[in-house]
Structure 1
């Protein structure tokens, strides 16, 4: 049984989701609340496996709520439900430890599937959100200002068993470069870059290059 906490400032959405998700025999809705701070306080008092979190909420939004939840000794997984235009929230919530992103207009069955996916420990990003995130990374929207980048140390990748070449490719992907651009930058063929990316995906147990970028951005 997966124990859920539903967080949304709209009472109609909370009640509707509670009814719909409660129909699945593998899910149990432990409670609902209206903002991120309330979610954190409720999670401290109850055993919660997955928090389904809205982003735009007055008081304590989903970004801050995710950050608070991830401070817990045994933090729950967080599935963010967002609208497509929530640009300013997307990378911030991922950096705060969100385990998945889905658009609010997906079907209830997709949300149920997403809950079960992140409960199993897999990072989940809705394809439309993934494409937007990749674009944001490429445009520098989720990166620090150039002044900050000049003094920011590189995130450490060696502990994950990546070679120097693989580490370089990961950083290029996080900078939004295409395979062709990476190949030109590193004086490699596109085929070689694709082979490196396949090896990286296997070593990090990820599915695609967007997840590689997200993985890198989440590193301390």
Structure 2
């Protein structure tokens, strides 16, 4: 990975470390823009390391792993990871994800978003009333009932066309509602809306 990233002139690979504990220590001692962490690491796993790095430093964390299990994804996002990407992506996609995370935005590829949504939706259904389920941490007074419905459908991974069909609206009307949601939250795109709805995080 160091060799691959070093081929991009915009990046400087400051260091590689052996485990999560070393990653935390390095980020505490040096100014690091983005830390790439795997999930499975000795001494301290990437999920725990993510929490410590985001709590103690200004470093943004991007999880880059082969593991797409629901529990890893949801725990990493709750611990402050800005992105969760699988290693089977092309180098250019990993480069773009690093750029996006560095600019303060979230990156979750489709398969990861679907698993995160499914896991949190299931959690919300199991809890009555739900404590930390999807949609429970947002300011519902800020949105219309239709906007909340559209946010929930975005969080389920539906496209504008699919939302229009399910909500009996035109695609243009769906787009207008999304524009309104973005304006009210200060978010910039659909992925951020989904993360905001699922976790309550991301609104400026």
Give TM class, smaller chain.
0.7 to 0.9
Deviation at 1:145, TM superposition (A): 7.3
Alpha-carbon separation, structure 2, partners of 1:20 and 1:80: 16
The structure with the largest strand share of the pair is: 1
2:194 aligned with 1:213: yes
Alpha-carbon separation, structure 1, partners of 2:84 and 2:94: 10
| SS of the residue 2:142 aligns to | coil
| SS of the residue 1:29 aligns to | coil
2:173 aligned with 1:190: no
| Corresponding residue for residue 3 of structure 1 | none
Deviation at 1:131, TM superposition (A): 3.0
Structure 1 residues not aligned, in runs of 5+: 1-16, 184-188
Structure 2 residues not aligned, in runs of 5+: none
Q: TM-score, normalised by structure 1?
A: 0.71
* TM-align CA RMSD: 3.0
Q: TM-score, normalised by structure 2?
A: 0.76
| Corresponding residue for residue 88 of structure 2 | 105
Alpha-carbon separation, structure 1, partners of 2:55 and 2:29: 14
Q: How does 1:17-56 map to 2 (within 5 A)?
A: 17-56=1-40
Q: Aligned residue pairs: how many?
A: 191
Q: How does 1:91-102 map to 2 (within 5 A)?
A: 91-102=74-85
Q: Tell me if the contact between 2:113 and 2:157 (Cα under 8 Å) persists in the aligned partners.
A: no
